């Protein structure tokens, strides 16, 4: 993992590269709360956690006055109740069952939860996300849940592909976002395209992303001690 000097320099460089075109979310899996707070002190305003248990362990120590937390990993329905009052957005909504549970837990606490629809843009078998061709009907179905605020789309595109294929995937995701926005003209909340990670965020931004989720380019390579959990 990077030291503080490297983290500060990386944040400064990335913010200047983004130049206001996209928001920076720091993906903080495996990163201790102290370094998360250091990143926040250097201008990070959004952090993203992948695992419920890890988020709960770090939650009290995270500087929540100066940053908001998004949930960005696969979320099991039985764990929604633990995070519903701790995150400002759930980016990884990928089933009606999950949407229904978020609705239930949000209603219980009389709050509204902002969500993104996760798209499996490459139709990869075994990967989380709604198939691209089903995204519009999925978003229509979310209208049944009054405590959910659908704010846009999120994706983790296929990894092993050419620059050209990557670009096509970014464009496909942005186009889905735009197609749905065209039907939601009066809905200002529908405003977020969350795509782009350490290796490809500039290409993502050039192809329609306005929220990039960056981990290793800020914090250095992670050691998972095994299989990684990004899918
Ligand atoms: C880890 C993670 C990222 C960041 O990945 P890097 O390649 O380290 O930038 C982005 N999105 C999700 C969902 C992740 O789990």
pLDDT at 228 over 80: no
| CA 107 – CA 70 distance, rounded (Å) | 19
The pLDDT, as a whole number, for residue 229 is 44
Tell me whether residue 111 is exposed, middle or buried, using C-beta atoms within 10 angstroms of its C-beta: 0 to 12, 13 to 18, 19 or more: exposed
The pLDDT, as a whole number, for residue 49 is 98
Whole-number Å distance, alpha carbon 103 to ligand 1 midpoint, is 26
The pLDDT, as a whole number, for residue 225 is 53
| CA 156 – CA 152 distance, rounded (Å) | 14
Q: Which position has the higher pLDDT, 161 or 57?
A: 57
Q: Do 210 and 203 contact (CB within 8 A), yes or no?
A: no
The pLDDT, as a whole number, for residue 224 is 65
Q: How is the chain split among helix, strand and coil, in percent rounded to 5?
A: 40, 20, 40
**pTM exceeds cut of 0.85:** yes
The pLDDT, as a whole number, for residue 222 is 76
pLDDT single digits (tens) 29-48: 999 999 999 999 999 999 99
Whole-number Å distance, alpha carbon 11 to ligand 1 midpoint, is 15
The pLDDT, as a whole number, for residue 92 is 98
Mean pLDDT estimate for the chain:
95
81 — pLDDT class (breaks 50, 70, 90): very high
What is the DSSP code (8-state) at residue 130? Answer: B
Q: Which domains does the chain have, with CATH numbers?
A: 4-218 (3.20.20.10)
Closest C-alpha residue for ligand 1 atom 5? 215
Select from 228, 227, 229, 173 the least CA-distant residue to 200: 173
Q: Residues 189-219, buried b or exposed e (16+ Cβ, 10 A)?
A: ebebbbbbbbebbbbbbebbbbbbbbbebbb
Q: Which atom of ligand 1 is nearest to the CA of 92?
A: 13
In percent, the amount of the chain with pLDDT more than 90 equals: 91
Best residue among 72, 127, 205, 223 to mutate for probing ligand 1, ranked by most atoms within 8 Å of CB: 72
Whole-number Å distance, alpha carbon 73 to ligand 1 midpoint, is 9
Q: Which position has the higher pLDDT, 221 or 189?
A: 189
| CA 174 – CA 28 distance, rounded (Å) | 25
The pLDDT, as a whole number, for residue 209 is 98
Select from 134, 158, 139 the least CA-distant residue to 150: 139
The pLDDT, as a whole number, for residue 34 is 97
Structure tokens at 171: 């464009």
- Ligand 1 contact, 156 CB (< 6 A): yes
- Ligand 1 contact, 216 CB (< 6 A): yes
pLDDT single digits (tens) 169-219: 999 999 999 999 999 877 889 999 999 999 999 999 999 999 999 999 999
23 — pLDDT class (breaks 50, 70, 90): very high
- Ligand 1 contact, 129 CB (< 6 A): no
Select from 8, 14, 12, 5 the least CA-distant residue to 212: 14
The pLDDT, as a whole number, for residue 230 is 45
pLDDT single digits (tens) 99-127: 999 999 999 999 999 999 999 999 999 99
140 — pLDDT class (breaks 50, 70, 90): very high
């Amino acid at each position: 993992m990077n030291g503080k000097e490297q983290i500060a320099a990386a944040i400064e460089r990335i913010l200047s590269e983004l130049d206001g075109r996209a928001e920076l979310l720091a993906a903080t899996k495996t990163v201790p709360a102290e370094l998360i707070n250091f990143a926040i002190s250097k201008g990070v305003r959004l952090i993203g956690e992948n695992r419920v248990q890890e988020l709960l362990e770090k939650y009290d120590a995270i500087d929540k006055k100066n940053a908001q937390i998004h949930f960005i990993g696969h979320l099991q329905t039985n764990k929604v109740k633990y995070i519903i009052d701790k995150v400002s957005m759930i980016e990884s909504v990928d089933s009606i069952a999950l949407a229904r549970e978020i609705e239930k837990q949000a209603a219980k606490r009389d709050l509204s939860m902002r969500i993104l629809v996760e798209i499996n843009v490459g139709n990869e078998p075994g990967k989380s996300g709604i198939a691209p061709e089903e995204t519009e009907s999925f978003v229509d179905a979310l209208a049944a849940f009054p405590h959910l605020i659908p704010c846009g789309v999120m994706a983790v595109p296929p990894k092993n592909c050419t620059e050209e294929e990557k670009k096509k995937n970014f464009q496909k995701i942005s186009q889905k976002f735009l197609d749905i926005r065209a039907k939601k003209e009066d809905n200002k909340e529908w405003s977020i395209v969350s795509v782009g990670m350490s290796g490809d965020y500039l290409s993502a931004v050039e192809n329609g992303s306005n929220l990039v989720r960056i981990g290793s380019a800020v914090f250095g390579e992670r050691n998972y001690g095994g299989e990684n959990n990004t899918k």
